[in-house]
Structure formats: C-alpha cells, structure tokens
Amino acid sequence: MRKEKIPAATIIRLSVYQRYLKRLLANGVKVVSSSELAYEASVNPAQLRKDLSYFGRFGVRGVGYDVASLLNTISGILGLLDEWRVVLVGAGPIGQALLRHPQFSRQGYVFEAVFDFDENHIGKQLEGGHTVRAIEDLPKVIKERGIQLAVLAVPSERAQEIADVLVESGIKGILNFCTTRIRVPRGVSVQYVDFTILLDTLTYKISQNNTGNKEPVSSAKPKWAREHSWPVVQSNIQRQGVSLTS
C-alpha cells in the first residue's frame, strides 16, 4: 500500500465496487470491464483505476478485472472477509427497522444483542428473536464477545453518555443515527447517519438547477442536466424554531 492519504470517497466507492462484484460473482460472471464497474459507482474508469491504485495493480488492459480475485482483494481491504458482530443500542423505530433490514446479514453484519434504557422496551421480544436488554448489561456483552462495532440509535440527548459506555467497553466503530456529534478518543471511529443531510444534497441540486447557478459540466461525469428550468414549488412557511432572516 502506498503511503498516501486515502480519500474517504475512495473507501465508500470500494464498498460500491465490492457489492457489484458480489452480484456478478453470484451470477457467474468471471470478468468485468473497468467502464462497467466504474459506471456502477457513478465515476469514470480513470477514477476507478485511481481508487484501486492505492492498493496495488489490478486488471489487464483490454481484458478487465477478474471478478473473484478483485472481490477478494477489496473485501480484504475493507475488512470484510469475515462476519462482523454488532451491538444495537436503541430499540425504537429506527433500531427495529435496522434489525429487520436484510442488507445487514447479506453483507455479513450480524446483530448480536440489542440494548435500551427504556423500561418499556427492556425484556421485549423483537421480531427476529432478539430480546431487548438493559444498558447495564452492555459492557459485559461487548467484552465477553469481543464486539467492536455498535449501532447507536438512541435519542440525541443520551448519545454521548451511551457512546462513553461503548468506548469504555471496547467498541472501536460506532454507526451513529443520532443527530448530535459525539466525542470519542483516538482509536475509535464514528460514522454519522443524518438522512436530512442527504436530502440537502438533493435540494441543493434542485435549487441550483432552478436558479441557473450552473456548475461547469464534466463530460466524464454528467450528474444532472442544466437545461431544465421550472418554478420551485415550495410553501413559504418559516422553519421551526429559527428565523432565517438576520
């Protein structure tokens, strides 16, 4: 591996490549072209080659990539050659929806135990066979089973306190569905999930199209057209809790 800072976007794309390669392998496809694989991640083939170049040399010019071999390599880079056991903290609507989401087990993430501090949830039997346990049991379960990944889906005001317990117990990575930032020591990573930030990227694009604030078009990566123009239909209601006029 080159001693070079690897962009976060490259790691995300490795995951996208990995999923597509898995699908190809399952369908019996042996070789994939760089343009097909790049298309899947909405980049051009040069970006795909750059992404892979951080980790070595792959593929044969004019032939493409060996699906099984590249899948194995990328899975290894991402740490995905084995299953990962995960604790879920927060058995509310989001937490329960995640438990039932087939994509986790399909990608090798296994929910090992579910915790909550809400007396109404503790002891409840969830679909899929999990019984919600009290937060007090969290350190013991994490330590005994050597779990390193946690999904945090508690109300934001409890997020830091629970994160502290997770870190003390040995968790090294937290997928955080709470909308507040949490502080963790070095050696622990946090990935934030805020659905509304993703919606903002869409409203940005729609608004840019509407106002005619055109970004230069990259011919290699046409993301959306600029020739469209239409009135943005929005209600003119003030945002909750904050006036946006200064």
Strand order in the sheet with 189-192: 132-134, 109-116, 84-89, 149-152, 173-176, 189-192
Query: Residue from 28, 82, 129, 157 that binds a second copy (CB under 8 A)?
Result: 82
Tell me how far apart the alpha carbons of residues 174 and 42 are, in angstroms, rounded to a whole number: 27
**218 touches a second copy by CB under 8 A:** yes
Q: Helix/strand/coil (H, E, C) string of 96-133?
A: HHHHCCHHHHHCCEEEEEEEECCCCCCCCECCCCCEEE
Interface with a second copy in residues 129-168 (CB under 8 A): 145-149
Segment interacting with a second copy (CB under 8 A) among 44-52, 100-108, 116-124, 159-167: 100-108
**125 touches a second copy by CB under 8 A:** no
The answer for 138, left when phi > 0, alpha when psi is -120 to 50, beta otherwise, is alpha
Across the chain, the runs of DSSP E, i.e. the strands, are 31-32, 65-66, 84-89, 109-116, 132-134, 149-152, 173-176, 189-192
Q: Which is nearer to a second copy, 138 or 149 (CB)?
A: 149
> How are beta strands 31-32 and 65-66 bridged, if at all?
antiparallel
**245 touches a second copy by CB under 8 A:** yes
**6 touches a second copy by CB under 8 A:** yes
Instruction: State the CB neighbour count (10 A cutoff) for residue 14.
Output: 22
Tell me how far apart the alpha carbons of residues 69 and 49 are, in angstroms, rounded to a whole number: 16
Query: Residue from 52, 71, 113, 167 that binds a second copy (CB under 8 A)?
Result: 71
Interface with a second copy in residues 11-40 (CB under 8 A): 11-12, 14-16, 18-19, 22, 25-26, 40
Query: Residue from 31, 36, 45, 104 that binds a second copy (CB under 8 A)?
Result: 104
Query: Residue from 35, 53, 131, 189 that binds a second copy (CB under 8 A)?
Result: 189
Sign of CA dihedral 219, 224, 230, 236: negative
Query: Residue from 86, 113, 132, 158 that binds a second copy (CB under 8 A)?
Result: 86
**246 touches a second copy by CB under 8 A:** yes
Segment interacting with a second copy (CB under 8 A) among 113-121, 132-140, 161-169, 199-207: 199-207
Q: Which is nearer to a second copy, 161 or 205 (CB)?
A: 205
Smallest distance from the beta carbon of 28 to a second copy, in angstroms?
11
**63 touches a second copy by CB under 8 A:** no
